[in-house]
Amino acid sequence: MTTSPHTGTPAAPGDPNSRVHVVLAVKNLAGAKSRLATALPGSRRADLVVAMLLDTATAAASSSSVVGWSVVTPDPRVADAAARAGATTVSEPDLPVSDPTAPGGVDGLNRALSAAHDAVRGSGVDVVALAADLPALTTAEFDGAYRAATPTGRSVVADHTGLGTSALVVRGSGVDLRPLFGPDSAARHVSSGAVALTGSWPGLRLDVDTEDDVRRAVALGVGDRTLAVLTNAGWPVGEHRSRQ
């Protein structure tokens, strides 16, 4: 855990001594965002996934507390885009051949996030595992959730449906990430001991999977890259502009 150089006590969220590493996991782009298939062709959906990842990471990495970010992915295009944007890339861990979720299933996602957490353990940082499809996220929302997190342990931000998880925050040395993403992950994270955070952070809670989600995100205001992809795809963005 980061400590104050003057008191030796844990650095509070928002303290200039706080140090945070953000981890994100992205599946293979093949078949990405299939629930948007009627609105966007496959190539555009792949572009959108990369754009949302980079906009999500940009909003988080702009926090004064964030000292680095990692992306775990099996997809070379995602890895290349993330690396060029300044991320550390982590190879997705191999799963047993007999594992019915391999490759890229829920268990693969959780193992990937754990691998990214393990890569920075021992470096004195707190870790925030973020959904990679939060194009309306703002830095202020990221900071607000981090400040609200329990000072030692795990905290969870449920998505806009109340069922999924947008962010899992780990603060304190020796605390495992223990990601449980998948169906009803918000409740499963709480059942496993994570503290549910109740702040009003619409961009942080809005992970994009459906056409309605895209419309909500555009109404809030999305990052520059996401806006460009949607505009080029002919999505009706109207007068909406970047939120970041």
3-state helix, strand, coil in the chain (%, to 5): 35, 15, 50
CA 150 – CA 42 distance, rounded (Å):
40
Residue 52 pLDDT exceeds 80? yes
CA 55 – CA 122 distance, rounded (Å):
28
pLDDT given for residue 226 in this prediction: 96
pLDDT tens-digit series, residues 177-199: 999 998 999 999 999 999 999 99
Q: What is the pTM of this model?
A: 0.87
